[in-house]
Each structure stands twice: as structure tokens, then as C-alpha cells.
């Protein structure tokens, strides 16, 4: 079997997850509620420091449910230039909700509170309404960086002073928690809603949650219905997600160490460039520096060696570590990369 570094979404359910699925108590979540879904939502809300949570099929749906709950057609959201919500969700903000996006910053995943404040629209009939500020933690395109707490707090303060809610795309928030040592509830205190993906580093087969106060969740439930995200006997999925949240947070430190090892090993290979000191969590960005050789071609050649990886730009490869990878897989990657770059 090959080594798959494309994403932390490729993991397979553990034995404990499979056992939980078999034993899950279920009900019709649309009609009467599914008891295992309710347990997951309660546990996720508590971990996130929010009043309530809502189980949805995917991280994209979690974010889009939040956007739909906070906005109206014609509104504008403010987000980082390379945020997932505007880069990798198929234009859903505009297609589903009639929103336009004001994007700020560069590929480092950062935007400043001053930029956010300057970009907020005046109460003027010719301008769209600034309806939501979106943050992302960790930041995918920036290489899994943890946006510093002081920056998150400053942006939140600017938004709240203007009466604008803040949504935190916390697909990999658990990675930020482990890397920073800051509990999830302290990060989410600066957001009015938050999403958490259970099927990335935490390893569940399916599912995300979106969390906030009771009034937000009431609106979110209606948006989820419109998007077709209300599932029937979803306790089968929620049971595995409960195991993921209970067992797989602290072990993310292993993934972070493995990603640094990837950067260190590949950074020593002629024609590749990587800085282990820039690897904050479970994503290592590696530059293809040889003239005439693209990231896509290197990914193709690595695939022929049994190693799968994703190109994230003309000259950048993204390596994502996860619970199905170990030290032996990184050694196999190094050997494959040496062969490709020889």
C-alpha cells in the first residue's frame, strides 16, 4: 500500500469507530431526533465552548450553513484572501446566498484588524452591508499556520464594535489547540459561530459541526434543511465522530512532528525547498525549485513511486500528515523524492 499525503481526509475509520458504529443507538434525526447525534452535538458544543452545535455532512456545509444563518442576499463578507470559504467551496457564498466577498491579505494567511476595519462598509445605500467577518484556524493555503491569538482577538474586537458577527472556520481548530496549548473555548470566545471538521485530523469517516448560541443554531437548522444536510439515522456517523473527538485530539502532536520531519527530509534534496521551522501543524509546504519542473509533474512522478501528494500551485506541493501515516511512510516519501529528483 502506498503513502497518501494528499490530505488528512483520507484516513480510514479505526476499530473503535467501527465498533461504535455497530453499537450506535439511532433514531430519525429529522423527525424525532437521533440520540447519538444529540450526544455528539452536546459534546462538540462543550469542547468548543458554545451553547449548542449542529451536525452536518461536511466542512463546506458547516461554513455555508453559518454564512446562510448570518446574512441576506446582497450582503458582503470579509475574509482572508486565500480563505477556504472563498477559495475552495465552489463559489458557494455567491451561488447559494447571493453574497459578495471582500478578501484581504496574502498567502501567509493573515489579515490585520486595521485592514478589516478599513474594509467595513459604511451605512450607505450604494454599498453592500458588511454582514460577517470570517476567520480560518488553522489556515490551509498558508501551510497550516496558527493565526496568533492577539490577531484573532483584535479582528474580533473591531467586528463586534461595529455589530458585525464573526464566524471561525475551525476545520483544523484541533490542530491549533494542540500546537498552541490554548483551549478551543478560548479561541472561539472571539467568534459568534465556529465550524469544526471531524473527518480531517480527528479521523472520523464523515462529518462536521457548526456551533454557536441557541438563536444562531435555530437559524442554522433552517439553512441546513435548505441545503439538504439533515440526515435520518445519522447516529451511525455521529458514533464514529464521537470517538474521533474523544480519542484523537492530543495525538495530533504526532502528526505535527511528522510534518516537520517531512519538511526537514525533503528540504535537504537538491531541487526541493522546505523550512521545518515554518511547519506549525500537520501541513508541510515544499517548493519545487528546479527549472522546467512543475509541482504537478513532481506529484505525478511521486505517484508512480507509490506516494500521493497534492500540488497547491505551479511550484508548491502540500504534504499533509495524519493518523494513517507513520515514520516509515516519511522514509518511503524521502526515498521516492530522491529517485524523482535524481
CA distance 277 to 328: 22
- DSSP collapsed to 3 states, the chain: CCEECCCCCCCCCCHHHHHHHHHCCCCCCCCCCCHHHHHHHHHHHHHHCCCEEEEECCHHHHHHHHHHHHCCCCCEEEEECCCHHHHCCCCHHHHHHCCEEEEECCCCCCCCHHHHHHHCCCCCCCCCCEEEEEEECCECCCCCECCCHHHHHHHHHHHHHCCCCEEEEECCHHHHHHHHCCCHHHHHCCCCEEEEECCCCCCCCCCEEEEECHHHHHHHHHHHHHCCCCCCCCHHHHHHHHHHHHHCCCCHHHHHHHHHHHHHHHHCCCCEECCHHHCCCCEEEEEECCCCCCHHHHHHHHHHCCEECEEEECCEEEEECCCCCCHHHHHHHHHHHHHHHC
198 CB neighbour count, 10 Å cutoff? 29
Task: State how far the Cα of 227 lies from the Cα of 65, in Å rounded to an integer.
Answer: 8
Predicted TM-score (pTM) of the model is 0.96
The string of pLDDT tens digits covering residues 46-96 is: 999 999 999 999 999 999 999 999 999 999 999 999 999 999 999 999 999
pLDDT for the residue 2: 86
Q: Are 280 and 259 in contact (CB under 8 A)?
A: no
d(CA 234, CA 9): 19
- What mean pLDDT value characterizes the chain? 97
In the CATH scheme, what is the code of domain 251-341?
3.90.1150.10
* Per-residue pLDDT reduced to its tens digit, 274-323: 999 999 999 999 999 999 999 999 999 999 999 999 999 999 999 999 99
Nearest to 195 by CA among 322, 291, 324, 57: 57
Are 196 and 54 a contacting pair, CB within 8 Å?
A: no
pLDDT at 233: 96
For the chain, the structural domain boundaries read 15-247, 251-341
- The predicted pLDDT at position 157 comes to 98
**Rounded distance between C-alpha atoms, residue 117 and residue 162, angstroms:** 9
Instruction: State pLDDT tens for residues 88-121.
Output: 999 999 999 999 999 999 999 999 999 999 999 9
Give whole-number Cα distances, 286 to 149, 268, 271, in Å.
Answer: 26, 11, 10
pLDDT at 218: 98
- pLDDT band of 1, cuts 50, 70, 90: low
Cα distance between residue 329 and residue 289, in whole Å: 23
Half-sphere exposure of 312 (CA within 13 A, CB side): 23
Region 162-191 average pLDDT: 98
Q: What is the domain class of 15-247 according to CATH?
A: alpha beta
Amino acid at each position: 500500500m502506498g503513502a497518501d499525503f494528499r490530505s488528512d481526509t483520507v484516513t480510514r475509520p479505526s476499530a473503535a469507530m467501527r465498533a461504535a458504529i455497530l453499537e450506535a443507538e439511532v433514531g430519525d434525526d429529522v423527525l424525532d431526533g437521533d440520540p447519538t447525534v444529540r450526544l455528539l452535538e452536546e459534546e462538540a458544543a462543550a469542547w468548543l465552548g458554545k451553547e449548542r452545535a449542529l451536525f452536518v455532512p461536511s466542512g463546506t456545509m458547516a461554513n455555508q450553513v453559518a454564512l446562510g444563518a448570518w446574512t441576506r442576499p446582497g450582503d458582503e463578507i470579509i475574509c482572508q484572501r486565500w480563505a477556504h470559504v472563498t477559495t475552495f467551496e465552489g463559489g458557494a457564498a455567491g451561488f447559494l446566498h447571493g453574497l459578495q466577498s471582500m478578501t484581504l491579505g496574502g498567502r501567509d494567511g493573515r489579515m490585520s484588524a486595521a485592514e478589516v476595519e478599513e474594509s467595513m462598509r459604511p451605512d450607505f445605500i450604494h454599498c453592500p452591508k458588511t454582514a460577517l467577518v470570517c476567520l480560518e484556524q488553522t489556515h490551509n493555503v498558508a501551510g497550516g499556520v496558527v493565526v496568533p491569538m492577539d490577531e484573532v482577538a483584535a479582528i474580533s474586537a473591531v467586528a463586534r464594535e461595529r455589530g458585525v458577527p464573526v464566524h471561525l472556520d475551525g476545520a483544523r481548530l484541533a490542530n491549533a489547540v494542540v500546537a498552541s496549548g490554548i483551549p478551543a473555548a478560548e479561541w472561539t470566545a472571539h467568534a459568534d459561530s465556529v465550524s469544526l471538521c471531524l473527518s480531517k485530523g480527528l479521523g472520523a469517516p464523515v462529518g462536521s459541526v457548526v456551533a454557536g448560541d441557541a438563536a444562531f443554531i435555530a437559524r442554522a437548522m433552517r439553512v441546513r434543511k435548505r441545503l439538504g444536510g439533515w440526515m435520518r439515522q445519522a447516529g451511525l456517523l455521529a458514533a464514529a465522530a464521537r470517538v474521533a473527538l474523544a480519542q484523537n485530539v492530543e495525538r495530533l502532536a504526532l502528526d505535527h512532528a511528522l510534518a516537520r520531519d517531512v519538511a526537514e527530509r525533503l528540504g535537504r534534496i537538491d531541487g526541493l525547498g522546505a523550512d521545518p521551522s515554518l511547519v506549525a501543524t500537520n501541513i508541510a509546504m515544499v517548493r519545487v525549485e528546479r527549472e522546467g519542473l512543475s509541482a504537478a509533474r513532481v506529484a505525478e512522478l511521486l505517484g508512480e513511486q507509490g506516494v500521493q501528494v497534492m500540488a497547491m500551485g505551479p511550484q508548491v506541493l502540500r504534504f499533509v500528515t495524519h493518523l494513517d501515516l507513520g515514520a516509515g511512510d516519511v522514509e518511503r516519501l524521502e526515498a521516492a523524492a530522491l529517485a524523482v529528483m535524481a
